[in-house]
Amino acid sequence: MQITEPQVNLEVAKNLGLTEEEFNKIQEIMGRMPNFTELSIYSVMWSEHCSYKNSITLLKTLPTDGDNMLVEAGEENAGLIDIGGGLGCVFKIESHNHPSAIEPYQGAATGVGGIHRDIFTMGARPIAALNSLRFGNLDNKHTQHLVKGVVSGIGDYGNCFGVPVVGGEVYFNDCYNQNILVNAMSVGIVKAGETCSACADGPGNPVFIVGSATGKDGIHGATFASADLTEDSADDLPAVQVGDPFQEKLLLEASLEAIQTGAVVGMQDMGAAGITCSTSEMSAKSKTGMKINLDKVPTRQANMQPFEILLSESQERMLIVGEKGKEHLLEAVFDKWDLECELIGEVTNTGMIEYHSQGKIIAEVNADSLVLGGGAPIYTRETSLPKYFEKIKAFNIDNIVEPTNILESAKNLFASPNIVSKRWVYEQYDSMVRTNSLSTNQPSDAALVRVKGTNKALAVTTDCNSAYVYSDPYKGAMIAVAEAARNITCSGGVPAAITNCLNFGNPYNPEVYYQFTNAIKGMGEACRKFNTPVTGGNVSFYNQTVLPEGTEPVYPTPTIGMLGILDDYKNQMTLDFKAEGDLIFMLGNAKNDISSSEYLRIEHDIHHSPTPHFELEEEFELQKSIQTLILKKLVASVHDISEGGLFVTLMESGMVGNLGFNINTDPAFRKDAYLFGEAQSRVVVSIKSENEVAFLQFLEEQNIANTKLGKVFGSKVTIDDKEFGEMNEWKNVYDNTLKNKLEE
């Protein structure tokens, strides 16, 4: 095969996503003009996706210290915290947005595969998966196509791989019509002393590529993920990877077994930027170098050019640095699992990565110059106040006419795609494989997963109401953290740490960068309050579509993946009403507040209003009290008030067991605000009547506001003595609306 490369110039550099300033800096670093392969290496490694060049300065302001933290944020492929008993939990969330918008099935499937590899690369066995999905208008046929493709991709890959999907969220909004968001989270368990690091220590140690052969799929995927979607983006289909979950299952078992041999020095998943990223990041971390022979890399297609091999993002591959003299141990393990295990190079002490082909050096680059914290550029962009804030300031609740038929408003709200059950989605996921899940048949605000061999359980959730962040990035991001913590707390857990997936528009847009800057501030403040350090995550910029008529950015969506711990799984708390006659209370303060509510959008078509009421200290104190109420066994059910307000919360608690309720609203408040408003820091609990005295005494001692709403009663819904119908009628709407839309 003859190696052919285009001539390098500024135009070529720009086509690869580099700026003129960056092109000049590369020449300065190298002391010469790079060849095309070298320029391609810098283009992917200096892309936003790999280098975080427009975000790292702000990310460093987030709290990353905590008592349970075992690795520093960003140090490894995923976060690692101590959960006690000689066990660690490895977890991370990442985006696969652009690929899923172009090819929804493979885009979503490979997103799942990639995040699981980040977990088992560190020596942990994945035990649970979650996702956070954003789509456009559900009445749009293209949206329906994307939903079906993404859900099938997630379900097929996860089900074949054998890790249950235990939780997640799905939202619909017109702002995601062209640019959907697909965020995937994985959670794994590892024993102390069995973790593996992404390092390349020991000059002379062998370097192996293991797993699948390398193909042309995913080439320049990192660059593709760091650019706007346009009407021509479908032409970039080769930038979308193709997944094989059965191969990944073999790779999982082989990788964990290889670590047990003691022959593995370091290991890293080949995700974004493929071999380029793995070799450079591992070398830079250990302050070493590598000599890599690309002719030794197993390929799926003949006559692949060196740059194609380097930049391919073919799935189910790992880079392993082994211990010299123990090569046979690694080869034996991967041979047992019928996987490729090819010796492609060795570690050096030069600090350089040399890529060889046909007996020649085809690229030679300094490892440190490629990576975050090394030579990769760092920028702080301009900010400006979003112009749409003027519309938000102009909102006045007094201009909103109260409904004359509250039942009709309730029905309209309840049928919203953002409110109804996502049963059609999650029924395509296996939530019970490995039998760890505690919340499949006993629903909680967070997903609960048993840690086998112990009494512990993990509480995990993904949360973000992007409409709140759009209205006020600072407060909205705080609410995202607080709601994640509230879901953990209401399930019986104690919040421990977060991972985040920060989905925003183009950072070169000052309004977008304002959103990003202030969201980071809000997130950091809330994380410090809840003592939930940030273990790592992902920044996904350029989530906007460039159309002839203008640019359409998505709502700022800083998705929070939170981990909580139950020291005893028997302290699990569920959201469902338990028995007739149980008393229903609301904890927290009611407000005359319908801001940024689903009700305001559905009933009044208003998309610009402030964030709902939220005070961080108030939220924190409420959650502390709920934790104690659960441990004291004073509550029978706990369910937080979020989208859809009090009404939806009550309905969700009643539908599980087909139990109705009889409650009264407070005439001091607008009825629509009382029932449908989304003011934060409120929770619905049910209690046995014999616990009422002790329950109220505790709340008084803690100074927690509370309202006795009514009681669990029959199978009908009754509000202010007005019958709202049978619970099973509402449940039919709740369970089947999404299905009917997607299967019509």
DSSP assigned state of 508? T
Catalytic residue check, 98: no
Measured distance CA(321)–CA(379) in Å, rounded = 33
CA-nearest of 603, 687, 688 to 647 is 603
Joined tokens for residue 467: 């409409």
Catalytic position from the list 49, 98, 220, 613 = 49
Q: What residue type is assigned to position 420 of the chain?
A: V
Tokens of 342: 């090819």
Report the C-alpha dihedral over residues 416, 420, 422, 427, rounded to 10 degrees: -130
Long-range Cβ contacts of 135-141 (<8 Å, 24+ apart): 135/170, 135/171, 135/172, 135/176, 135/180, 136/172, 136/173, 136/174, 136/175, 136/176, 136/177, 136/178, 136/180, 137/172, 137/173, 137/174, 137/177, 138/172, 138/417, 138/738, 138/741, 138/742, 139/741, 140/177
β-strand partners of 717:
661
Active site residue 96: yes
- Per DSSP, the three-state class of 309 is helix
Residue 141 neighbours by CB distance under 10 Å: 7
Question: Parallel, antiparallel, or unpaired: how do β-strands 583-587 and 683-687 relate?
Answer: antiparallel
Residue appearing with tokens 């799905």: 170
Q: CA 426, 432, 435: angle at the middle one, nearest 5? A: 160
Element (H, E) at 541: none
Let me know: does 134 contact 181? Beta carbons within 8 Å.
yes
**Token digits for 56?**
């790292």
Closest by CA position to 576, among listed 739, 385, 442: 442
Among 422, 443, 334, 389, which Cα is nearest to 609's?
A: 389
| Eight-class DSSP state of 693 | H
Amino acid at 571: N
Structure tokens at 309: 């091999």
The residues annotated as belonging to the active site are 49, 96
